[in-house]
Chains A and B, each alone.
Chain A
Amino acid sequence: MDRDRTEGELDSELHRRLSMGEQDAFEELYRRYAPAAFGLAYRVTAHELLAQEVVHDAFMALWKAPQAFDPSRGAFRSFFLSLVHHRAVDVVRREQRMRQRAERMNPEPLEDEDVAEGVVQEAWLADRREEVLTALGKLPPEQREVLELAYFRGYTQAQVAEAMQIPLGTVKTRTLAALRKLRAMLGGGDA
């Protein structure tokens, strides 16, 4: 957690500099979060070009209106990845047909990777990722599936109910139970 706090402070400093228009700060935030953002967008959209658009729009939104992030109300990481997820879900719901086509395909490895960016993900994020995966793995399968469909595939809760053939109320109950368990295992989530 101490490292998380340190990284959070670094994010806040980079955000402050970005707010002053420093392109170097933008570059550094891109280096730190582009892999996580692109991984999330790709997981949700299941489509490389759509994922690129999501990440592009999220970073440009950050550049154009950095004041949208208020450091007093949480970690930059939470804010930015929430922004990416929100945009990815929007894209999925607009592009249902495209997504259905993409889901029938096996994602191909990217050929045009930005090797200049160095490591795919920094160690501190990788460690936190392990914690999140471990916590998800401890959820009952039916709760994990609800989160998988809602969060990682962009389904509405009504669509989750239809896909799992369970009542909408059950989806809501399982979702809340899952988040409470994750909260107990991971804490509030902010660095």
Chain B
Amino acid sequence: MSDEHERVQETLAGMALHALDADEMAEARALLAAHLPTCAECSRARDEFSSLVAELALAAPPRRPPRTLGTRLRREVRHEGRRLRVPLVAAAVAVAVVAGLGAWNAHLSSRVSRAEQRQAATQADTVELINAVSHPESRVVPMTADGTRPGAQVAATYVPGRALLYVFGSLPPPPRGHVYQVWVGRSGVFSSAGTFVPADAGTVLVRLSIDPSTYDTVLVTEEPAHGSSAPSQSQVATASL
């Protein structure tokens, strides 16, 4: 096996164990985005390691949970209902995205270092998104679409204190020769976070390794194929953070 495969599979093993720190994760995502789409062997190893590591959970001695935990859960399920913490529009987007995660589909430009491309989701990827969306402290912010794109529905979500922001939802394909570009801004000054095109189904999931607390706005625009150095007037969706 080549050094490259070995390095990728070492990374996959660390990811499966949830044993990479934030910096290592960023490096790992870049490595895997470049390697996995063309390597069936490592893609298979990713799925196998993910399932295998989940089995390690069984090695922990099972314990009866306290009675209060079951009581609390039953009460919340009965009275709180489903997804009440999430605004209705954002919840619809979240469900659509989660259901469509067969392809982790943000197709981000590789030249933009802070954005990461994911071609195919593992269950661990799904877990990561659902952790963010359903975290008790998560903020889900519906983004206001410009109204000219049928089916456009986008939201941003993050957990305060974590340097991670997701932009997700659905968008129609951009016109030929164009891409969507994500920007984060503070006091009217915007910097690019990456370009993307939606997957075939129109589903969008952009994962940004940024600290949301340092910005006040997230913006999606339509730009020429290679992206722009500043946002154009063709705004697609925006939200205040």
**B131 CB–A CB distance under 8 Å:** yes
CB of B63 within 8 A of CB of A172, answer no
- A116: chain B residues at CB < 8 Å are 67, 70
Q: Which residues of B contact A (CB under 8 A)?
A: 6, 9-11, 13-14, 16-21, 24, 47-70, 72-74, 76-78, 82-83, 85-86, 94-95, 98-99, 101-102, 121-124, 126-131, 133-136
User: In the bound complex, what is the Cα–Cα distance between A133 and B94 (angstroms)?
Assistant: 38
Closest beta carbon of chain A to B111's beta carbon, Å:
28
Contacts of B49 in A (CB 8 A): 179, 183
Q: What's the Cα separation between A44 and B56 when bound, in Å?
A: 12
Q: Which residue of B lies closest to A179 (CB)?
A: B13
Instruction: Tell whether A112 pairs with B67 under 8 Å between CB atoms, given A86-B124, A179-B16.
Output: yes
How many angstroms from the CA of A136 to the CA of B3 in the assembled complex? 27
Q: Do most interface residues of chain A lie in helix, strand or loop, or is the interface mixed?
A: helix
A78 lies within 8 A of B72 (CB): no
User: In the complex, which residues 21-71 of chain A have their Cβ closer than 8 Å to any Cβ of chain B?
Assistant: 21, 23, 26-27, 30, 34-40, 42-44, 48, 52, 55-57, 59-61, 63-65, 67-70
Closest CB in chain B relative to A179 CB, distance in Å: 5
In the bound assembly, the distance between CA atoms of A38 and B57 in angstroms comes to: 10
Are A68 and B126 within 8 A (Cβ)? yes
Show the binding face of A for B, using Cβ within 8 Å: 21, 23, 26-27, 30, 34-40, 42-44, 48, 52, 55-57, 59-61, 63-65, 67-70, 72-75, 77-79, 81-87, 89-90, 110, 112-117, 120-121, 125-126, 128-129, 132-133, 136, 147, 150-152, 154-158, 160, 172-173, 175-176, 178-179, 182-183, 186, 188-190
Interchain CB contact under 8 A, A172 and B65: no
- A120 & B13 in contact (Cβ 8 Å cutoff): no
A38 to B101 Cα, complex, angstroms: 28
CB<8 Å pairs between A and B, sample of 5 = A60-B134, A73-B122, A132-B56, A156-B24, A160-B19
Contact for A176 among B13, B51, B83, CB less than 8 A: B13
